[in-house]
Amino acid sequence: MINAPSYAPFEDAELAGLDQSGVRIAAIKYQRADGTTSIRLKGICQCSDEEISDIPEIVLKAVYAVVIFGELHLPSTFQVIGESILFDDDNYKYAGFTRGYFDIDLFNQAKLDPRNGTFFISVAFATYLSNVVPITL
């Protein structure tokens, strides 16, 4: 979903090790091609095959981001996939789990204006909550 060059240092290892149902995220600030600063949010969500009947057919449809702008305590919630079109092959089967991956420009997807300050980012996936990632611009 991001049309931009590679962003070092941002390793998939930060998302590795999810061995149960849940969601995990990582985020970095980066400079867009137009020179503005944004936040890249990527993550993995998965549920066991036993739970899949409680979640939409494509697991990414059950992923919502929660962003709080710390200085003003302004919350924003949005569906991570936004207006993206998803297909059955956006689900990945892995060791008894169904997984989904996302990689977005936070401000574009949330339709938020970038501003200086600290953002606290988390993600909800079905009944699971991710880690909270603070990012300061």
Radius of gyration (C-alpha) of the chain in whole angstroms: 15
For 38, half-sphere exposure in the C-beta direction (CA atoms, 13 angstrom radius) is 22
Among all chains, which residue has been given the structure tokens 């991956």? 101
Q: What is the pLDDT of residue 7?
A: 39
- pLDDT tens series, the chain, 137 aa: 433 334 334 455 556 667 888 999 999 999 889 888 999 999 989 988 888 776 777 888 889 999 998 877 888 899 998 777 777 777 888 888 888 888 999 988 888 888 888 999 999 998 899 999 999 98
| pTM recorded for the entire structure | 0.82
Specify whether the CB–CB gap between 131 and 60 falls below 8 A. no
Task: Given CATH 3.30.70, say whether it is the number of domain 12-136.
Answer: no
Domain limits, the chain = 12-136
DSSP string, 15-63: GTT--SSEEEEEEEEEE-TTS-EEEEEEEEEEEETTTGGGS-SSGGGGE
